[in-house]
Amino acid sequence: MNLEKENLPKHIAIIMDGNRRWAKAKGKPAGFGHKEGAKVLEKIVRYANKIGIEHITVYAFSTENWRRPDKEVKALMRLLRKYLKDCIERTAKNNMRVRVIGEKSRLDDDIRAAIDELEEVSAANTGLNFTIALNYGSRDEMVRAMRHMAQDCKEGAFSVEEITEERFASYLDTKDLPDPDLMIRTSGEQRLSNWLLWQLAYAEFYFTDVLWPDFDKQELIRAVEYYNTRERRFGGRVK
């Protein structure tokens, strides 16, 4: 495939599914799968940055993930702490800007502090825009947006008649990001699972049976190749 800039989707959203199944198949605990999945994420983000993709957004921890066994949730939070710490050094090295979206108030204080530091130190970087969704659920995001917008409307910032798609989008967690062009979900599942429901309205979907810890740059290329076969509603074929 020709990986020229014009052949690449500007923004790829990824549901990294299959860590637990991958670990179970190897007789390992779920935490082992999540650790390997984090390593794969780092490789994919590095490769995406190298070939010139502008935005990667990943579904790291959903609002529904709190329902998982307590042991697994604690292991995920430990992994998250380490990942955020390591990410500070990697963003400087790779010139990547990192943002975190989702309802952060439920996260522990030290995790929120690490997020603030990571966003601050990477804010001026000009390479790949890497967005991590933590304690994120699209319905929760839209309800929070509606509450803020309704409050502003009540206080006279704008009238009901001035509510538009663009105004609503400006209240979402992703207000500073372009909508994804391509959504990738691994492990054979073919549903959105409360992920970027507003933002994915016109995205192309690529589903693969590959479990996330086995996902590699060749699979990413296959997803981009698929994207390039699609006829886009606006502007014709993707170029």
Among 2, 7, 17, 70, which one carries the catalytic annotation? 17
65 given a catalytic annotation: yes
* CA–CA separation, 198 and 207 (whole Å): 19
Alpha helices per DSSP H over the chain: 19-25, 30-51, 70-94, 109-122, 138-154, 165-169, 217-229
Question: Residue 71 class from Cβ within 10 Å (0-12 exposed, 13-18 middle, 19+ buried)?
Answer: exposed
- What the block records as the tokens of 172 is 């979402």
Residues in a beta bridge with 12: 56, 182
152 given a catalytic annotation: no
Chain position carrying tokens 């992703």: 174
Buried b (16+ CB within 10 A) or exposed e, 108-125: eeebeebbeebeebbeeb
Tell me which H or E stretch contains 101.
strand 97-101
Closest among 202, 198, 204 to 165, alpha carbons compared: 198
Chain position carrying tokens 């997020």: 115
Give residues with Cβ within 8 angstroms of 110, minimum separation 6: 81
Among 2, 7, 19, 65, which one carries the catalytic annotation? 65
* Side chain identity at residue 139, one-letter code: R
Catalytic residues: 17, 65
